[in-house]
Amino acid sequence: MPALKKLTSYAGPRGPVVLAIMDGTGIGKYKEGDFVAAAYKPNWEWLKQHAVYTELKAHGRAVGMPTDEDMGNSEVGHNAIGAGRVFHQGASLVENAINSRALFEGDVWKELVGNVTRHHSQLHLLGLLSDGNVHSHIRHLLAMLKEAHAVGVKTVRVHILLDGRDVSPQSALDYVDQLEALLKELSTDGCDYAIASGGGRQVITMDRYEANWPLVERGWKIHWRGEGPQFPSARAAIEKYRADNPAVIDQDLPPFVIVRDGKPVGTLQTNDSVVMINFRGDRAMETCRAFEEDNFTKFERGPKPQVVFAGMMQYDGDTHTPKKYLVSPPAIDRTIGEYLTASGVSILATSETQKFGHVTYFFNGNRLGKFDEKLEDYVEVKSDRVPFEERPWMKAAEITDIVVDSIRNNKHRSIRLNYPNGDMVGHTGVPLAVQISVEATDLCVGRLIEALKAAGGILILTADHGNADDMYERNKKGEVAIDPRTGHPKAKTSHSLNPVPCFIWDADGTANLRLSATAEKGGLGITSLTATFLKLLGFESPADYDPSIVDVG
C-alpha cells in the first residue's frame, strides 16, 4: 500500500482530526417523534453557528443497499465511511445471487441439500424473520425453502428469531403467517416443513462482540436441544406471551420450542445440514463459532456437532468464519485505515462493546486486527448488560474520557469514535430514554470541543444512519399511528431513511474550511466523509474515493 500524497495547500491542523459518529442520529422529517430535534443540544447548536454544516445520505444506494427504500445500518455505514466509496452490501449480494440462481448452483448449497437427501436427515434454517433487510430478508428464506423442496429435501426445520427492531415492534405474526403458509404448501408428498423454535433476537442467539454469551447459550438449548417452553405453534407462543405482557415488543419475546406429541420437532441430529440465513455478520459470528470450533469453551455445547454447517455469507475473511458460505461477501479494499498507517499516521479507534466492532472490524472493510500494531490503538469500553432504556447515557462519558486523554496528550493524529446511544436506545422505542440518549451524547461532544480548542484540532461530527429522529409509526398519509391499547403514538424501533448531519469544525481556523462545489449541490453520501478526513489531515485522497465535503487552504 503506497503512502498518501500530501497536499501542497494545507499541511493539516496543529492537533488531531477527530471523527465522532453519533450512531442512529439523523435529521428528522417530522416534528412529532423526532427526539433528536426535541433533545437539548447546546453543543450541536453551537456547532451550527461555528462549523461548516451539511447533510449526507446514509441509506439505500448511497451505502450499497439494493434500493433507496432500504434503510442504512451501522454495519454498512461504517463500511462506507471506512472505504470511501460504495460497495454492494450483503442484502444486494444475496438478492442478486438468488435472482441469478448463483446461490443454488454453488457447491455449498449442493453440499447442504445433498447431505440431507443422502442421509434422509434434516435441513435447518436459522435466522432473523423479517423484511428489515438489515440482517436478513424473509424473501431469501422463502426462496431457499422453495428450492429445497424442488430438489427433493423432505424435512426442513426453521428456527426463527423475531425482530421488532428493524421493523414494526409487534409485527412478528405477519412474518410467521407468511412463513407458515409456505411451509404448509410444501408439506405434501411425504415432505415435512415446519417451524421448530424461536424467540426474540435480544433474548436468544443474536449476541455480538461476545457481549453476552449466555444469550447464545440460551438459543443453543432452544434451537438444537429443544430445551425450553413448549408450544404447538409459533403463533400460539407469540399470542400467549403477548397476552402475558401486551407491551412486549418482538425482539424481547421469550423463547419457545415447537412440539408434536410432546416431543420437540427440530432437535439437531447427526448428519443434518444447518444454514445461518443472516447475511450480516456481527450477530451471526458466535453461532458459527459454536458449530465450528473443535475446542469450544464459551458454554457447555457438548461434542462438536457432526453436521454440514454454512452461513449465508462469510462473516469474517481473516478467521474464515464460517468455513462454508453461500454468497461471497463484498471485497472491500484500500480502506482509510490502511492508507493512514502506510502514511505513518497514528490512529485511535474507540467505542463501547456494542459498537466497538464497527469502528474496527467494519470500518476496516470487514477485517479483524490492525494494519499496523505500532501505529494503531483500539480501545473497547465494556458495555453494561442492562436494558438500554435503563442506561440511556450508556458509556458515552467513558468513551469521551479516552478520546480527551489522547487529545490532551497528543497521542494520536487520527481519532475515530462511536457513540452508540441514539441507535441502541432508539431501538427500545422508549421516547424519554431516546431523548436522554441524544442529550448525553451532546454533553460529551461539548467535552470534545473544549479539548480540541486547546489542542488546535478538527472535529467531524456526523452519524452512520438515522433512528432516534423517527420514533413514531405513521400511516400512508404520514399521520402518527396511535396504539389502540394505550392511546399513545405507536413506537417505531427501526432505522429511518433520513439524512444525517455533518459538522466540520476547525478549532484554530487555519484550514480555511468551506463546502466544496460538489457538496454545495447536495446529494453526497457518508462515503464522502473519508476523502474529507484525509484532506483535513493534509493528504490527497485516492482518485476513486468519493469527493470531499470541504475544500481547505
- Give me 235's grid cell: 403463533
DSSP state of 429: T
Longest CA–CA separation in the chain, Å: 77
CB 461 within 8 A of CB 501: yes
Instruction: Tell me how far CA of residue 265 lies from CA of 8, 117, 230, 233, 504, in angstroms.
Output: 69, 18, 11, 11, 57
CB neighbours of residue 289 within 10 Å? 18
Write the burial class of residue 130 (CB in 10 Å: 0-12 exposed, 13-18 middle, 19+ buried).
buried
Place of cell 462493546: 353
What architecture does CATH give domain 17-87+332-551? 3-Layer(aba) Sandwich (3.40)
Q: How far, in Å, CA of 269 to CA of 256, rounded? A: 19
Tell how far CA 293 is from the center of its chain. 24
Q: What is the pLDDT along the chain (553 residues), one digit of tens a residue?
A: 899 999 999 999 999 999 999 999 999 999 999 999 999 999 999 999 999 999 999 999 999 888 898 888 898 999 999 999 999 888 889 999 999 999 999 999 999 999 999 999 999 999 999 999 989 999 999 999 999 999 999 999 999 999 999 999 999 999 999 999 999 999 998 999 999 999 999 999 999 878 899 999 999 999 999 999 999 999 999 999 999 999 999 999 999 999 999 999 999 999 999 999 999 888 999 999 999 999 999 999 999 999 999 999 988 776 789 999 999 887 899 999 999 999 999 999 999 999 999 999 999 998 889 999 999 999 999 999 999 999 999 999 999 999 999 999 999 999 999 999 999 999 999 999 999 999 999 999 999 999 999 999 999 999 999 999 999 999 878 899 998 888 899 899 889 999 999 999 999 999 999 999 999 999 999 999 999 999 999 999 999 999 999 999 9
Domain boundaries of the chain, sorted by first residue: 17-87+332-551, 91-327
Could you give phi then psi for residue 138, rounded to 5 degrees?
A: -55, -30
HSE value, Cβ hemisphere, 13 Å, CA-based, for 119: 17
91-327: CATH number: 3.40.1450.10
Residues annotated as catalytic (active site), given as ranges: 74
